[in-house]
Amino acid sequence: MQGVVYKSTGSWYSVKDDSGKVWNARMKGVFKLDDITSTNPIAVGDVVDFELENENEQTVTITKIHDRRNHINRQSPRIKSQQHIVAANIDQSLLIATLKEPRTSQGFIDRFLVACEMYHVPAIILFNKIDLYKDKDHQKFKQLKEVYEKVGYKVIGISLKRDKNVESIKDLLKDKITLISGHSGVGKSTFINTIIPHVQIKTQDVSGWSGKGQHTTTFAEMYELPPDSHRDGGKIIDTPGMKEFGLVDIERQELSGYFPEMRERLNECQFNNCLHIKEPGWAVKQAVIDGEIDEDRYVSYVNILESIPEKKW
């Protein structure tokens, strides 16, 4: 039998088969040892083969993971040397950011976008909780929207609480598998509860962001968007909030290729292995000086570059 992983709780998975039946699935021990570099060899979105394990308890054993169309990996927050597959087989990724309660840093946004570029997953940035914005927050939002739209990402300010701009996003989700990411407390689960009326995912209590950064959602889970007259559905993946986005499998030389505004200037740099820090013939650095590349984006670039260990041969 074949199915899609809808939920992963560590050792058990919820797998939905073609007829819509949901099974409790797990892996065989030996199979599990195959992929020791990842904390979770199977991720939400994976297509798997399985066979019946226990008829009475309706449990099944996963026997095969199908090749992935794509996936997004990050550093495991617990074991830094290991990777964590955030999700597999996704069409786009939607980052929910906030300027307040909590504040999402530009560094976090940029790391996340680098990961999306690495894995060829289109990204959209939503700034939620605009109902909390004061004048200076509106200005900051406007500035960030300009920066990221210029680079090629769609940026939308929304308030789930006041139902502002939410309707327009539904069209972006239509027929697609969308991964939702962001810090804890930004409103990822609230977003899904708003988009899909019949689901009731647990969200942080009414007082809003507690400031303690505790996670309300603890496992990734996929939900089906309701089909209607002008929408055929699609799927949306809720994830636990992340504090940092630790990039994996990235080399210093390739980093600038994951900043679209640098990528388009790379062949103007004098050396093809230019890191754009101190080399002469600086097409990229000149663009920063000229204000064509946003300075904060460049700062993120340098910070990420410094965090990547130099390759040991």
The single residue among 284, 287, 288, 304 that binds Zn ion, judged by CB under 5 A, is: 284
Q: Is 287 in the site for Zn ion (CB under 5 A)?
A: no
CA distance 313 to 310: 9
> Taking CB within 5 to 8 Å according to partner kind, which of Mg ion, ligand GTP, Zn ion, none is near residue 131?
ligand GTP
Strands (E), the chain: 2-8, 13-17, 22-27, 47-54, 59-65, 71-75, 83-88, 92-98, 123-128, 154-157, 177-181, 221-224, 235-238
Segment near Zn ion (CB under 5 A), from 160-168, 219-227, 231-239, 265-273?
A: 265-273
To the nearest whole angstrom, how small is the minimum distance from the Cβ of residue 265 to ligand GTP? 35
The single residue among 41, 122, 240, 260 that binds ligand GTP, judged by CB under 6 A, is: 240
The single residue among 115, 269, 293, 304 that binds Zn ion, judged by CB under 5 A, is: 269
Enclosing H/E stretch for 193: helix 188-195
DSSP-derived secondary structure letter, 80: T
Q: Which is nearer to Zn ion, 245 or 301 (CB)?
A: 301
To the nearest whole angstrom, how small is the minimum distance from the Cβ of residue 64 to ligand GTP? 31
Q: Is 64 helix (H, G, I), strand (E, B) or coil?
A: strand
Q: Is 185 in the site for ligand GTP (CB under 6 A)?
A: yes
The DSSP bridge pattern shows strands 22-27 and 123-128 to be unpaired
Q: Is 209 in the site for ligand GTP (CB under 6 A)?
A: yes
Of residues 113-132, those binding ligand GTP (CB under 6 A): 128-129, 131-132
Q: Tell me, by CB under 5 A, how many residues bind Zn ion.
A: 4
To the nearest whole angstrom, how small is the minimum distance from the Cβ of residue 267 to Zn ion? 10
**The two structure tokens encoding residue 203:** 């969200």
Q: Is 184 in the site for ligand GTP (CB under 6 A)?
A: yes
Q: Is 217 in the site for Mg ion (CB under 5 A)?
A: yes
Nearest to 96 by CA among 48, 160, 140: 160
The single residue among 26, 129, 183, 276 that binds Zn ion, judged by CB under 5 A, is: 276
To the nearest whole angstrom, how small is the minimum distance from the Cβ of residue 253 to Zn ion? 11
Segment near Zn ion (CB under 5 A), from 94-102, 198-206, 240-248, 262-270?
A: 262-270
For residue 140, report the phi and psi dihedrals to the nearest 5 degrees: -60, -45
With beta carbons less than 8 A apart as the criterion, state whether 26 and 59 touch. Answer: yes
C-alpha torsion sign, points 272, 278, 280, 282: positive
Segment near Mg ion (CB under 5 A), from 23-31, 115-123, 216-224, 225-233?
A: 216-224
For residue 233, report the phi and psi dihedrals to the nearest 5 degrees: 110, -135
Q: Is 189 in the site for ligand GTP (CB under 6 A)?
A: yes
Q: Is 194 in the site for Mg ion (CB under 5 A)?
A: no
Q: Is 210 in the site for Mg ion (CB under 5 A)?
A: no
CA distance 123 to 96: 11
> Taking CB within 5 to 8 Å according to partner kind, which of Zn ion, Mg ion, ligand GTP, none is near residue 102?
none
CA distance 137 to 196: 29
CA distance 53 to 46: 20
Residues in the site for ligand GTP, rule: CB under 6 A? Answer: 128-129, 131-132, 159-161, 182, 184-190, 203-204, 208-209, 215-217, 240-241
